[in-house]
Amino acid sequence: MGAPPHNAPPHNAPPSHQGLELAGVGVRFGGLTALDDVSLTVPPRRIVGVIGPNGAGKTTVFNVICGFVVPHTGTLTLGGRPLRPAPHRLSRAGIARTLQGVGLFAGLTLAENVMTGARARSGFVSSLLATPRAARDERRLRTEAVALLDSLDIARYADALPATLPYAIQKKAGLARALAARPHLLLLDEPAGGLGAEEIDELAALIRDLPASAGTAVLLVEHHMDLVMSVCDEIVVLDFGRVVATGTPDQVRGDPAVAAAYLGTEAIAPGDAGPVPDSGDARPPAGGPTGGATTAGRPPDPPPGGPGDGVVALR
């Protein structure tokens, strides 16, 4: 898998990007505390993972950064400036996101989907005008889109509709669309979901390469522990909406608080966790009416072996 072909800064990005910082962020949904005093930093061109058992607050962190959820406490800064996120302004702030599923536009080809990512950067209005310049811009965007698809080894599918293609190809196209916005910060929401072991290895290599090849920092939410441990410079561990550990993969792997959050008393080792079915609401809500942070009520360890090895998610 090749490197995305652009090192240029985003057209509309802030001139100096010193990374993303969340400080003391708290989110409540009614009586439920989803995030409690969460602080984390994603420095430029670094890969930071956010892990934690189901319901720990990982997606809520993403939703705060994207402006889908407004925190009741705390601050966000991007490049040293206050960030007041709004979903429609993300691209202009230099942030792009992939979705947990695929989220491609079903009626557009892969190339056209990727072009929508680039248009988020350059503006939709010019593309609607039937001027010679707009036509030139469209040709340029298509060339860029196909080059991006090529960098992910899927250019041959440029003119295919998503539904006609295997899931792994669609996921790569979703990544290409996010990269087309030339983000300084890329939010990857469970990118390994639905992929096989070989595809995950390929994905890991690609993610590891992104800071150098695309000039972007990465914030990764992922249950697949082998992937997280192999690509992240730093990992933030959430449990019941609170940060229980921050450190390098090795530091986090040996941290008793992390072991307690995930495995009762066992430490995390790459590939040592068997399949863990997502049992939905088995876990009490974070900071909920019953008093919040406790390791009680965790489900029993899952049986070893079988599909999904390497996924650590105590549900």
Ligand X SMILES: Nc1ncnc2c1ncn2[C@@H]1O[C@H](COP(=O)(O)OP(=O)(O)OP(=O)(O)O)[C@@H](O)[C@H]1O
Least distance CB 308 / ligand X (angstroms):
14
Q: Tell me which residue has tokens 């939010």.
A: 187
Least distance CB 98 / ligand X (angstroms):
15
Tell whether residue 298 is a contact of ligand X (CB under 6 A).
no
Q: How far apart are CA 183 and CA 285, in angstroms?
A: 33
- For 34: left if phi > 0, alpha if psi spans -120 to 50, otherwise beta; the answer is alpha
List 26's β-bridge partners, or say none.
73
113-132 positions binding ligand X, by CB under 6 A: none
Q: Which is nearer to ligand X, 57 or 191 (CB)?
A: 57
- For 250: left if phi > 0, alpha if psi spans -120 to 50, otherwise beta; the answer is alpha
Interface residue with ligand X, options 25, 34, 245, 268 (CB under 6 A): 34
Tell whether residue 60 is a contact of ligand X (CB under 6 A).
yes
* Site stretch for ligand X (CB under 6 A), options 52-60, 155-163, 247-255, 298-306: 52-60
Interface residue with ligand X, options 1, 2, 29, 279 (CB under 6 A): 29
Strands (E), the chain: 20-29, 32-42, 47-51, 73-78, 81-82, 95-97, 185-189, 217-221, 234-239, 242-247
206-225 positions binding ligand X, by CB under 6 A: none
* Site stretch for ligand X (CB under 6 A), options 27-35, 157-165, 225-233, 263-271: 27-35
List 47's β-bridge partners, or say none.
218
Interface residue with ligand X, options 54, 109, 122, 216 (CB under 6 A): 54
Torsion of CA 149, 154, 159, 165, to 10 degrees: -130
Size of the site for ligand X (CB under 6 A): 13
